[in-house]
Chain A
Amino acid sequence: MDKLSIGQHISGQFNADLEALKTELLEMGGLVEEQVISAVKAITSADSELAEQVITREEEVDNFEVKLDEQCTLVLARRQPAAGDLRMVLAVAKIIRDLERMGDEAQKIAKMALELNEEGEAPRGYVELRHIGSLVHQMVINTLDCFARFDVNLALNVAKEDGRVDQEYKSAMRELATYMMEDPRSISRVLNIVWAIRSLERIGDHSRNIAEHVIFLVKGLDVRHVSVKEMQRKLGQEDD
């Protein structure tokens, strides 16, 4: 089934339940996206206040997860959804887990920002952080979009972008490792940047997971643990 329409049930309440799942998941996604941007900004502009704010708001993300998890359970228990509806509920239950972990990673980045502000700025790494930060930010936006529009092609793009982030992550690591060898006194400060970049890379991985859940939701295909090429093959798309 290519077309997913969550309306038109005989039961209006069922429509409302599914619609609520979708809307609240997007709200949660919006919050996580904001957390990611703020966390990166907290490091790059040495803004402790913003970092504190990210750390405090992490609780909101957690609350969203608990609430949405409960709603999924209720829909399963009350409606015994099948087919597209079932995949919707399952996908939401999985996506919130990834979103919550993305929130955790954003919080870690914010903590790194605080440490950097206490220990003094790292001599290097900000360019890489900003660069990977903006790639990952775009991934998060696309991830939420592909869910909102049930867009399989966009989901596939997210998976591809994740490959790019991984590349950038590796090259940043190489560069920062060289720098730490050259100037051992800066190791602890540069490591803070390393952890932050690592968290961004993890956020990218979670975005890819979400994109995979979206493909499952829309197409009913399980594309976990496969290469992007294999994903394309499963989706019946030519390699480009």
Chain B
Amino acid sequence: MEATVGSANTIGKLNSEAPVSKATANYKEQAAGKTVGIPFVEHPKMSMRDVQVYYGDKQAIFDVGLDIGKNEVVAMIGPSGCGKSTFLRCLNRMNDTIDICRVEGSLKLEELDIYDPKLDVVPLRARVGMVFQKPNPFPKSIYDNVAYGPRIHGLVSRKSELDEIVETSLRRAGLWEEVKDRLLSPGTGLSGGQQQRLCIARTIAVSPEVILMDEPCSALDPIATAKIEELIAELSANFTIAIVTHSMQQAARVSDRTAYFHLGKLIEVNETEKVFTNPDHELTEAYITGRFG
């Protein structure tokens, strides 16, 4: 049962360089670039060090170092403009689409250097999938939405295989029962929550190793949100997940570790339970208790 062990394990084996002491948790040290808590784990799935991101002359991310363990759910929270989405988008080079954006530092998916200039981003994005804030199904049938990835990546040779992938992905996304009788109707005809689950099915159809979620529930109603959160818990058995969310309760519910960003810096990373009951850094405390937004 690697799945259930994954997150607990990675947290258990702390890297010795992680500064844990509460005494060090003051803002001055933070200004010097030290993240408090447990930013690093042993045998990470993704490992980021000294990440700097610039939009033109303006620096958006400062010295961020973070590991994401295998089968772990890491939530990234922080006020608007703190850089959490920017950081997330570095993880599968979505920032490449922004001309003025420049990324420095070391970002690795296991041994693979994500920012290797020779790297083809298409297979990278198959390994590190992404779900966006607004559901964005292709204007195609439900079936074709899910089948799209496996087709372009050439993962299947026969129609029966493709059928199987589509069914498995939709099942895993918790959508199969609702759409199995209308696979050929357009994906855009589904409700918002269903569309988002369709997008998740589309993402997992190519068997990624990591799923990045950028506020996946912010356009959904509470019931659809609850379904997606349920889904995240199930998906974490097979996938590594990094989720950016504006809802602190959501971070508290779905994640193993929570990372708090503030003005482009990674202030604190700790086990989620700790962050929401007794955070190490006063900025984290101020944010999650609603003392500034």
A interface residues with partner B (beta carbon < 8 Å): 1, 3, 8-11, 14, 79-87, 219-220
Contacts and interface: CB of A to CB of B under 8 A. Distances in A.
A212 to B, nearest CB: 15
Given A83-B276, A83-B278, 5 more contacts: A3-B282, A9-B290, A82-B248, A82-B276, A83-B277
A10 B289 CA distance: 9
Given A82-B252, A82-B276, A220-B277, A11 B290 contact: yes
B288 interface: yes
Contact of B289 (A3, A85, A219, A220): A85
A83 B279 CA distance: 7
Contacts, number: 45
B288 A82 contact: yes
A87 B291 contact: no
Interface of A is mostly: loop
Interface string B239-281: 0000000001100100000000000000000000001111110
A86 B276 contact: yes
Nearest to B288: A82
B144 interface: no
B277 A14 contact: no
B277 to A, nearest CB: 6
A86 B289 CA distance: 9
A1 B278 contact: yes
A213 to B, nearest CB: 14
Contact of A82 (B280, B282, B289): B289
Contacts of B248: 82
Nearest to A80: B249
A84 B249 contact: no
Contacts of A8: 286, 291
A87 B277 contact: yes
Contacts of A83: 275-279, 284-285, 288-289
B77 to A, nearest CB: 11
A8 B290 CA distance: 9
A1 B290 contact: no
B249 A1 contact: no
A201 B284 CA distance: 41
Give the most central of B284, B285, B292, B293: most A CB within 10 Å: B285
Interface in B166-181: none
A87 B274 CA distance: 12
6 contacts: A1-B282, A1-B285, A9-B290, A10-B290, A82-B248, A83-B276
B289 A9 contact: yes
Nearest to A2: B22
B261 to A, nearest CB: 17
A90 to B, nearest CB: 9
Contacts of B282: 1, 3
A91 to B, nearest CB: 12
Contacts of A82: 248, 252, 276-277, 288-289
B79 to A, nearest CB: 11
Contacts of A14: 290
A31 to B, nearest CB: 30
Contact of B291 (A9, A79, A86): A9
A87 B285 CA distance: 12
Contacts of A220: 277-278
A78 B293 CA distance: 18
Contacts of A219: 278
Nearest to A86: B277
B286 to A, nearest CB: 8
Give the most central of B248, B277, B279: most A CB within 10 Å: B277
Contacts of B276: 82-83, 86
Interface string B217-258: 000000000000000000000000000000011001000000
Contacts of B288: 82-83
A187 to B, nearest CB: 51
A171 to B, nearest CB: 40
Given A1-B279, A3-B282, A84 B290 contact: no
Contacts of A80: 249
A219 B274 CA distance: 12
A44 B68 CA distance: 67
Nearest to B293: A10
B268 to A, nearest CB: 11
Nearest to B275: A83
A46 to B, nearest CB: 50
Nearest to A219: B278
A8 B292 CA distance: 8
